[in-house]
Chains A and B, each alone.
Chain A
Amino acid sequence: MKSIDPAARTPGQLVRSILVILLAVAWLVPTLGLLITSFRPQADIATSGWWRILAAPRFTLDNYAGVLTARHFFMNFINSFIITVPSTILPIVIAALAAYSFAWLHFRGRNLVFLIIVALLVLPLQETWVPVLRMHSRLGLTGHFLAIWLAHTAYGLPFAIFLLRNFFAELPRELFEASKVDGVTEYGIFRSIVLPLSVPALASLGIFQFVWVWNDLMNALVLLQDLKKFPLTVAIQSLLGSYGSEWNLLASGAFISMSIPLLVFFLLQRYFVQGLTAGAVKG
């Protein structure tokens, strides 16, 4: 590829390469430090930095064994999955239905409703927590996973509808018209034409929503209100807050919680970046 960079034609090529490397290192080192720390013996972690491993290369899996057996961490890990999987599937299904209607069906108020949904993208979730908690308690949902599934579904909808509607709207019109002539129902068109053609968009959205819910701390902390149902993020947060922090457990615990999104990221980077940059405001 031909470089279009202004600096490329100056003798600064080398300087530029060095700067690029420095930035990459600066961005990576904190995470790398945590990874190394998580494999060091507890005594070493407390007394020296991870960069000392060259002087004293001692490694252990104790921190991982420790964190998975102590403090309900394993249960929290499972909870993270229990929370995340339905909270990923539900909003996509509901948003896909709505997005199809916004893109291809005609009804009065369509643009207005869509623009209201776009505006909701900006709304901080803080505005909603207390009334949502009260609603959950009236419905007897407090402390049930269903409560957080519904909340994550609703909170994920504005972005999901926005993303899918834009994708659906780009599909060629002829596809729909031929089917309509053949008498296929709206739902039939949605299922057998729109969805199969939209797999890339659905994948991007699914990955994005999965990682977002997996990483969520605030909604779980506020809306679950039950120690036994908390995900990993809340478990680590409470460990961080406790006095005399157990650094070894923190390091391994944090890395376990990072491992799933990192895996998703490295395996499906292209989809992930697409989903994230398509609309980019959430939370």
Chain B
Amino acid sequence: MKERGAQLRAWLFILPALVLLAAYLVYPTIQTFRMSLFGGAGFNPTRFVGLRNYLQLLTHDSLFLKITRWPPSGALVNNILWLILFSGGTLVFGLLIAVIANGTRLERIVKSAVFLPMVISATAAAVIARFLFSPDASVGLLNAILKGLFPGFTPVAWLGTSEVVNFALIATGVWIWTGLSMTVLSAAYKSIDTQILEAARVDGASPWMTFWRISLPILAQPISFVAITMIINSLKMIDLVLVMTVGGPAGTSRVIGFSFYWEVFNNNLVGYGSAVAILMLIPLAPLMVVQVRRIRRQESGK
């Protein structure tokens, strides 16, 4: 009897959290999956269409995926670009700054400067980026700098040209998120035992070799943590695209998250948009497993 009372009390402590998680995360996700099988306009699609939304998305929606012409384009392709360049960029810059700033007198200032964009909203970042990327060389800093360096340079509409818009967006994303990657990697780098590095030096290893052969392998764990975090963030990306370009010009900067938002809230196609949301879960599902595995490993390692 005493045991049952203890069980009951333990459940009471988690009950409010469970109710909210079920009502706001678990059940809605199941509902979204169900809705993705229905078609038509409006918020309560009732016409069952099976997998037709998915088929349409992958084969007949050129803004989502277009593979009939090289190079392939569409939200899905843009998202792959994000995944590679955003994750790679935050990782490389984060590691670079963590390592070269380490131990210098300017370390704290540099780290604060790089971390600062993490603190501001995507909306504010979008305003900053609008100024930076302005096509007018007398207002936009990037065009002004390029014009200063190369007098014959024609100003580029960074956010208004389909060939460059994705890179401008990703660069803004990297500017925001490098602070996180830098902080995690810097803490890990500082925890490397200096004796190991000292021993390598005494044995005649060059600084580069020490970094590649010793520091980097030791950092493998935190690097994979940052990489997974950034991959997840790139797959969820939505707000930056919405505020900076609204997916434009002509839909060329859409990402999966944005397509969902646009289909549901602009085109009023709830079933179709839900299919987009569910497609987004496919690459995220294995990452969920990875996360859970890592936590379990940590637990058993304790």
Contacts and interface: CB of A to CB of B under 8 A. Distances in A.
Interface of A: 1-10, 16-17, 19-21, 23-25, 27-31, 33-34, 37, 45-51, 94-95, 97-98, 100-102, 105-108, 110, 113, 115, 117-124, 126-135, 150-151, 153-155, 157-158, 161, 186, 190, 211, 214-218, 222, 232-234, 236-237, 240-241, 245, 247, 250-251, 253-255, 257-258, 261-262, 264-265, 269, 272-273, 276-277, 280-281, 283
Given A4-B103, A250-B130, A280-B229, A119 B288 contact: yes
B233 interface: yes
B67 interface: no
A240 B20 contact: no
A240 B126 contact: yes
Contacts of A108: 7
A27 B155 CA distance: 22
23 contacts: A1-B103, A3-B102, A4-B102, A4-B190, A20-B106, A24-B110, A29-B141, A33-B141, A34-B127, A49-B140, A100-B13, A105-B10, A106-B7, A110-B10, A115-B296, A128-B24, A129-B264, A155-B25, A217-B243, A218-B261, A236-B123, A240-B130, A277-B184
Contacts of A277: 180, 183-184, 187
Contacts of A262: 116, 119-120
B90 to A, nearest CB: 12
A254 B128 contact: yes
A49 B273 CA distance: 41
Interface in B91-138: 93, 96-97, 99-104, 106, 109-110, 112-124, 126-132, 138
Interface in B8-33: 9-11, 13-14, 16-18, 20-21, 23-29, 31-32
Given A130-B32, A217-B239, A4 B21 contact: no
A101 B14 contact: yes
A273 B183 contact: yes
Contact of B21 (A106, A120, A236): A120
A28 B110 CA distance: 9
A159 to B, nearest CB: 12
B106 A154 contact: no
Contacts of B93: 23
B250 to A, nearest CB: 16
A283 to B, nearest CB: 6
